[in-house]
Copies of this chain bind each other. A is one copy, B any other.
C-alpha cells in the first residue's frame, strides 16, 4: 500500500497526461455547435470514473447536456460522499488573446507557478479540479484507503446556469442520497495560505435588447431626430448605478445581508495588498461601491456588470449607421438573502419602466442562482480543515468568495446535506479569461488533500 505522496510522485506524469487529454475536447456548453464534443467529454469522464474504481458509471440524459453519474458503494452503513463537478467549460473567446490555442493544452512555468501550470480552457474551471477527485479515488481504491462510499455527479451545464440539474436531482434523490457534498470549483488564497470557501455569491444573468427603427438608418438623414438604440442602451446602463456605484434598481438592496462591524473587521485581517492587486491586472485604480473595501466589494456586496454589449457597425473602418438594434448581456452577483428570481424581475421591471417611448426594450432572464453560505461548525467543514492541516501544515482560513456556483443552494435544499467547497485554484488562474491555467502544484496538492477528507469525515461520523 503506497502512501499518497509516493503514489503521486510515481504517477504524476500520467495524472497530467490524462487531464491534458480531457482538456483537448472543446466542451463549450453555451454554444450548440459543440454538442458532439459535450457528449465526447461525458463519455471520457465516465470511462475515467470506471478506471478509477467506480462500481458503475453512466451517462444520464437530461433535457439539456447529460450528467455523468458514477458510484463506489463500499458499505451501506458507512457515510457517503457526493462529489459534484462539471465537465463543461466557458467559451474561449476572444481567441486572439490566447498565447496558445485554448484546446491544445501546454504546460508552462510562470512566476506564481514555478512547477509549471497547464494552460487550456477548463484547466482550473473545472476539468482540472474535478479530475483531482477522480485521481484521489483511484489512489484510495488501488491502495485500500477508501473508508466510505462515494458518488460522483459531474454535470455539463454549470457554465450556462445548471439549467437542467434541478430536473435531474428531483428525479434521482434516492440515487444521490449522501451525507456530505464535496466540490472543488473555487480557489484558495495562496500556496502558504490554504483556505476553504464558506460563501458564494448568487447570480442573475439578463439579456437586454433595445429596438429603435425597423431598419438600420443613415445617421446623416435621421441622426438627431430618431433615438439611437446604442445611445439609449448606454444611458439605461449608466443609470443603473449612481455616483457612489450603488445600484439604483428599486428594491435591489432590500434583503441584502449587512455584515456586523466585527465580521467586517475580521475580513479585513485576511492578507491583502492593494498595490499588488492593481499591478497584477494593470489598473490605475480600483473601482466600486463607496464605503466598502476591495475585498468586501468582491465578496459580500452585490454587483452589476455588463458582460457583453454590441450594436451597429463593429467592423474595420467607419460606417455612418443609426442601427435598428443594440444588445447587452448583464449579470448581477447577489449576496445572502437576495432571491435571484426576485432580482431578475426587479431588473426587468425597472429597465422596462425607464425606457423612453422612442424605443422598445425587451429583457430576457438567462439564468440565475442563489447565494450560499456554509457554517464552519459542521463535521464536513472540520474534516476538510483537518485534511488541509495534514497536507499544508496549517489551518485553512474560511473565506467568502465573489464567484457563484448557482446550483449549490439547491443541493442543500433538495439533498439535505452540507456542501464543502475545497478549491485549489488561484484567483490569478484566469478562469473565464484567455490563458486559463491550473498549477501543477495545485493539481497534485488537491489530489493529496482529498483522501484526508474521506478519512476524517468517516472517522468523525462514527
A contact residues vs B (CB 8 Å cutoff): 29-32, 90-91, 93-94, 97, 159-161, 187, 201, 203, 205, 212-228, 230-231, 233-235, 237-239, 241, 281-289, 294-295, 297-298, 301-324, 326-329, 331, 333, 356-360, 366-367, 401-404, 427, 430-435
Question: Given A234-B306, A235-B238: A223 and B333 within 8 A (CB)?
Answer: yes
Q: How far, in angstroms, from A432 to B324 measured CA to CA in the complex?
A: 12
**B residues in contact with A359, CB < 8 Å:** 283-284, 287
**A221: which of B32, B298, B302 is its contact (CB, 8 Å)?**
B298
Contact yes or no, A228 B320, CB < 8 A: no
Q: How far, in angstroms, from A90 to B308 measured CA to CA in the complex?
A: 26
Q: How far, in angstroms, from A240 to B90 measured CA to CA in the complex?
A: 35
Smallest beta-carbon distance A338→chain B, Å: 14
Smallest beta-carbon distance A220→chain B, Å: 3
Q: How far, in angstroms, from A241 to B230 measured CA to CA in the complex?
A: 13
Q: How far, in angstroms, from A245 to B288 measured CA to CA in the complex?
A: 28
Residue from A214, A215, A294, A357 with most neighbouring chain B CB atoms (10 Å): A215
Contact yes or no, A317 B432, CB < 8 A: no
**B residues in contact with A201, CB < 8 Å:** 220
Contact yes or no, A434 B215, CB < 8 A: yes
**B residues in contact with A295, CB < 8 Å:** 225
Contact yes or no, B402 A221, CB < 8 A: yes
Q: How far, in angstroms, from A356 to B203 measured CA to CA in the complex?
A: 27
Which A-B residue pairs are the 4 nearest by beta carbons?
A30-B317, A220-B403, A227-B287, A238-B238
Contact yes or no, B358 A287, CB < 8 A: yes
Question: Given A234-B237, A310-B309: A287 and B217 within 8 A (CB)?
Answer: no
Contact yes or no, B218 A433, CB < 8 A: yes
